A and B are shown apart, each in its own frame.
Chain A
Amino acid sequence: MSGKTLYDKIWDAHVVQQDEDGTCLLYIDRHLVHEVTSPQAFEGLRMAGRKVRAPQRTIAVPDHNVSTTPGRNEGVEKNEESRIQLAALDKNAKDFELVYYPVDDIRQGIVHIIGPEQGWTLPGMTVVCGDSHTATHGAFGALAHGIGTSEVEHVLATQTLIQSKSKNMKVEITGKLAPGVTGKDVTLAVIAHTGTGGGTGHVIEYCGEAIRSLSMEGRMTVCNMAIEGGARAGLIAPDETTFEYVKGRPHSPKGAQFEAALAWWKTLYSDDDAHWDKVVTIRGEDIAPLVTWGTSPEDVLPITGTVPAPEDFTGGKVEAVKRSLQYMGLEAGTPLTEIEIDTVFIGSCTNGRIEDLRAAAEVLKGRKIKDGIRAMVVPGSGLVRAQAEEEGIAQIFIDAGFEWRMAGCSMCLAMNPDQLAPGERCAATSNRNFEGRQGKGGRTHLVSPAMAAAAAVTGHLTDVRELMQEPVSA
């Protein structure tokens, strides 16, 4: 019998019951809840007279729909529908006695940033949320995935999910990453390799020297976009970097319990003889800073490339590329570095952590954004914001000409007023470049935080490595 993968081990530790056909009832250790995908689930509970089974494992925070304008706690929210949805979460969190970080709490932030920050996310756990980017938590070696609202209701009522097991996929990034290449470029490189459907039906485990060398922040960025590769979840086996990050967080175990937990966490890795249904290997040295040109995350190329033509593709993709080039207002053959932008967005659950802000500030230090560019940085949580202010990073952004915002999802999905106007073009550190994602008619180019900062300075998509070599005239 072959050994087990990390996914197999976490799965086995959470099976409550298995049916003859293989369908399992899986126990859920942490359930994260936000305002957009939960109201109908709580309504369902009320209608059936049901309670939340484990309120102490259920963490609620408003993020998608909150204003990120400073002064928001003094009632700048003008949209009535948003107000009602936020009020519904507030009421549900209080009525059902959930763990709750309201909008005026400094610990409020994007659900996938505050889970790890507060120590709710731990290795070997199962974590779900009504949000596809729940995959982020896989960076800790936790099995974490997005669910729909009906499943949110199911977890609220039973603390379990009915699941069939996915297949095992190994993505190995060998060697070392070049300077200027980040977790964002790694995760985009994987999608470029496999396509947006490449991970469908699988749970991906990312491994290899290049992954090991990443900080927890970088690993979270990699796992965050597992969903853009179609995978159910992304995982990275926990190691000393993980244990160091987890230790001392408000809700991580303490003292003897930490030692006991650590002993179990150290068993969470894929055995050498484990079976993989699919294996992808990418050389870390081959990854350049990447940028998307189209309207699917798989439409991605090194910044040194040129916009492709529909004829470069086959099958249904030919029509899709025609459509996306028209939507993006791009001509085939244009060098990517000649694409001018008018907006820069730094933030989101993909790249809204302190390390992301540091990387962007490194590029911006002593520089100004180009005239006419609208640039905003939206920290992933109130605590990230506070830390950035303490480190002097906030001031670098402000001096460069960025807007310094409050925590939330903001222009990643543009549910709040942070939106692109039709035809506006944005270098964004978020995760999706779909049509209309950042505002109707808006055009999105996905990049790393350092690349976004570089674009803000020059006014066009830019190879950040050039600015890294250039002395700053302060």
Chain B
Amino acid sequence: MKIGRRSFLSFLIGGAAGTALSPMPLKLTDDSAIWTQMWPWTPVPEDGEISHVNSTCTLCPGHCGITVCKINDRAIKIEGMKGHPVNDGGICLLGVSGLQLLYGPTRVQTPLKRVGARGSGRWEKISWEAAVSEVVKQLGDLRAEGKSHSVGLITGSDRGTVPQLFARFMTAYGSNNVMRTPSMRDSYELTLQRMHGTRALPGFDFENADFILSFGSGIIDGWGSPVRMFKAFSGWRSNHGKVVQIEPRLSRTAAKSDRWIPVKPGTEGVLALGLAHVIIKEALYSSDFIDNYSVGFEDLQRLVLDKYSPDNVAAITAIDQKDIVTLARDFAAASKPLAICGRGRGSVSGSLDEFMAVHALNALVGNINKKGGVRAVSEIDYINWPEVQMDAVAAAGMQHERLDGAGSKNHPDTRSLLNRLPAAISSKEESSLQALLVTGANPLYTMPGSTAVKKAMAGIPFVVSFSSYMDETAQNADLILPNHTYLERFEDVPTPFGLQQPVTSLARPAVEPQFNTQHVGDVVIRIAKALGGSIAGAFPWEGYQTCLKETLGNKWETLMTKGFRLDDNDRAFAGQMTFDTPSGKFEFANKETGRMPQFSPIKIEGDEKLYPLVLVPYDSFRLAGGYIGTPPFAVKTVEDTVLKGKDVFVELNPETARALRLREGQHAILSTPRGQAKVKVHWFDGIRPGVVALPRGLGHTAYDKYLAEKGVNFNELIGPVEDPGTGCDAAWGIMAKLSKA
């Protein structure tokens, strides 16, 4: 039998009919549909037992209590810890995005050694032994040459056991070049030292205050402890508290406040003195406080009555004379008025005169050490380690002057002047720093004049970063010894800025370390032990956890169970009118100088003829400005009028924009004496004419693709301007010009 074409077709038709009557077409269709749900890149959430770990967020100085929700070993969500004295269940955008910092691609996963040129991004993965011995060799050699004082340390903070272990290491090693990242804390500490006699953080009882006079502080833009401030702000809304925001730009805080006073930028301190003038002249001050608990009132009186009459102040600040008088009366009439300062998030040290002028307002109305008032919150004193036994090399090293000049004759009370470091390094042919250790900080991005910082750092022969993330500083280091992230490590967390009650919190591992990282505390102890001699002797602990447990003593148990601990020894907040000043009273004028500091406004950099505009930065909740890079969740929330694609917008008053012939959305070149950048123009009625505003937290060259190369780093356009009193950076802006691109 011959198989013909017909037979063949017939076979096929029969096959088709049979197939149609078999279950396979339906089955395979169904299976292929399910197959599409099984692609390996389809995220499948972990299934398993839910557990919670209480810890503390250390992404910003707000130090909120957090509860990390886990399924099996995977952290799946970060929530605010209920009942925590700082945030009571609240959390901010950055805090909630923290898991992206834990699991995201910006982690440094293992110790790295640079193999290419600095910043070229070519690294060799090395073992922890090799990394530690490299540091030990370099530091050991410098010490042997008697150059221990040429080693510097930059930390994010100087409070808590980890920064203190570093400081201890530096002392035992023989260098006093320990510098912390600047912030408004610098000026507030000095203000309280001068006026209260205590070098301490200010504690504001915002929850019980009813009139907030903010000199540019971004109350809901990240100032102080952000979540707490948010909650306090909501409290004022519902309890008829008043908020007056004094700043040249209609920030989110200004927009939500009861009154916005668009002051001429940089004249906030003058306005404070103008208000003091009205309060004194009209005798609106608290005579009880002035008479019984203060000295130096007369000096203040003389100063403000002489120079800061409302008409003078009106001319300087461009605020109507009547408004000044009304504002002063309202402030003094409130039962719990609070005046605060520190622009935006408070990331610049600021002018001491300005801080003192603002704080004097709190004293004038007598709202000091009272419910709803402000007080000095001393550090909880639990770090009582035995004094370091220095050997001869260390003692000699410690005799050297600090490179930044902090604590010297000119600035005896200032403890750290990181802003001066780049100039100090670059001024000499051979770098005065031979080695630099950086922990919890990203100076290459966060310091004003970041171009100069980068240049200075290029001159330092050996740079070590302890960063968990590949940030700008880590990118330009020689060696990276990655720390665990805050969700993988133990650490004591001191009282956050602005809180009125001292509290110690505990950060503890929510998950096992994800990569080959080590706790920076362990690494310091390890380096110290390897250096031997008296350095090893200063670190009797086996590791960081032993150190922390011993240091916290009986606090440890409470911290492990509750997550935080309020200080028992804290002096009662209400009523105690004792001050640690020589006079035992609040001092408007310092006894040593004998007078209220003559207020001198900070003059910003730039020639008005070449640069007719004033460029100021602004902070927002959506962009992290510190050493932590904004995680992708948060970047997504940035508005189209701030960042579009890779372009950042500068805010410009339509009046100024028209004069410059710049349309909305048009590209422009923004130049300052420090640098220039391509930006887009956004017309904004909420900014004073003649002022340009640029957001902080953009223009990263490091971190992931969601953040890097977007916008402009404000710090590249500005440089530090020294406060004559403290030496700290007090630049609130810089002169600038805008031209068509």
Partners in one complex: no
Q: Which residues of A contact B (CB under 8 A)?
A: none
